[in-house]
Amino acid sequence: MNSPQRVFVLTGAGVSAESGLGTFRDRGGIWSRFDPMQLATPEAFGRDPVLVHEFYNLRRRGVIAAAPNAAHTALAHLESRLQQRGASLFLCTQNVDDLHERAGSRTVSHMHGEILEARCLGCEAVMPWREDLSLETPCPACGEAGGLRPDIVWFGEMPKHLDIIGAALREADLFVAIGTSGAVYPAAGYVAQARALGIRTCELNLEPSDNAAHFDEARYGPASVVVPEFIAWLLET
């Protein structure tokens, strides 16, 4: 394979699994214990904001306590090595944690938002947020209480940065999906778009995903092993 010049990587919960953050659809995953329609929709938040705040407070504390793993570190290394040779990495993540950034990735597109950011429904201010949130928490920007929510994308809400993600996908010469089940759209549709554009596609996952058939090649195993191996091989080509 020619050395890729514009690599597009899409990560999902599987890249953070070995950092101790739960995945969603694995055996024992988050959605096997909680109903996403009760917790990850704007209607759920309107119906029971206390429950939804509790759910995300638990997950926010988990993210803060977690550490990046070798897969996150390898992706940060890939970004800097590609830039040194005048090539580029576009890292798009469905994850709401900050482990890519803490591993050293400088440009990360969080299409489902970030759990360490809060947004005020009253004044629309978005701000870094590491504490628990509740209905009593006043917005630092407008002072109103009761309107703060995690700045993440729930089901039925428009994902973020779709314009730059779409442009980067169209420019790519290699598409790599890492640790994602291929169950959630529009992210799950990216591999089919890449193939339609004639872009080489590769899946790095614990086991075949829902759209495994769309990939030209695949390497299966834990991300902390498979991702560094794949990146070392990619940088030698």
Active site residues: 112
Number of residues forming the site for ligand BV8 (CB under 6 A): 36
In the set 73, 105, 209, 211, which binds ligand BV8 (CB under 6 A)?
209
- The contact pattern for ligand BV8, residues 78-117, with x = CB under 6 A and - = no contact, is ----------------xxx---------------x-----
**End-to-end CA separation in angstroms for the chain:** 7
In the set 153, 165, 176, 234, which binds ligand BV8 (CB under 6 A)?
153
The reply on whether position 228 binds ligand BV8 by CB under 6 A is no
Q: How far is the CB of 83 from ligand BV8 (least distance, A)?
A: 25
Burial class (CB in 10 A: 0-12, 13-18, 19+), 35: exposed
Phi and psi at 57, nearest 5°, equal -65, -40
| Residues in the chain, total | 237
Q: How far is the CB of 27 from ligand BV8 (least distance, A)?
A: 10
Segment 110 to 139, residues that bind ligand BV8, using CB under 6 A: 112
The reply on whether position 12 binds ligand BV8 by CB under 6 A is yes
Q: How far is the CB of 33 from ligand BV8 (least distance, A)?
A: 12
Give the nearest residue (CB) to ligand BV8.
Answer: 14
3-state helix, strand, coil in the chain (%, to 5): 40, 20, 40
The reply on whether position 14 binds ligand BV8 by CB under 6 A is yes
The 3-class secondary structure across 95-134, one letter per residue, is CCCCHHHHHCCCCEEECCEEEEEEEECCCCCEEECCCCCC
The reply on whether position 152 binds ligand BV8 by CB under 6 A is yes
Q: Beta strand 174-178 with 6-11: parallel, antiparallel or unpaired?
A: parallel
In the set 5, 26, 34, 87, which binds ligand BV8 (CB under 6 A)?
26
The reply on whether position 217 binds ligand BV8 by CB under 6 A is no
* Cα dihedral 19, 23, 27, 29 sign: positive
Contact 12, 179 (CB under 8 A): yes
Angle (deg, nearest 10), helices 223-236 and 70-84: 20
Residue ranges binding ligand BV8 (CB under 6 A) = 12-14, 17-18, 23-26, 29, 40, 94-96, 112, 152-159, 179-181, 183-186, 205-207, 209, 222-223
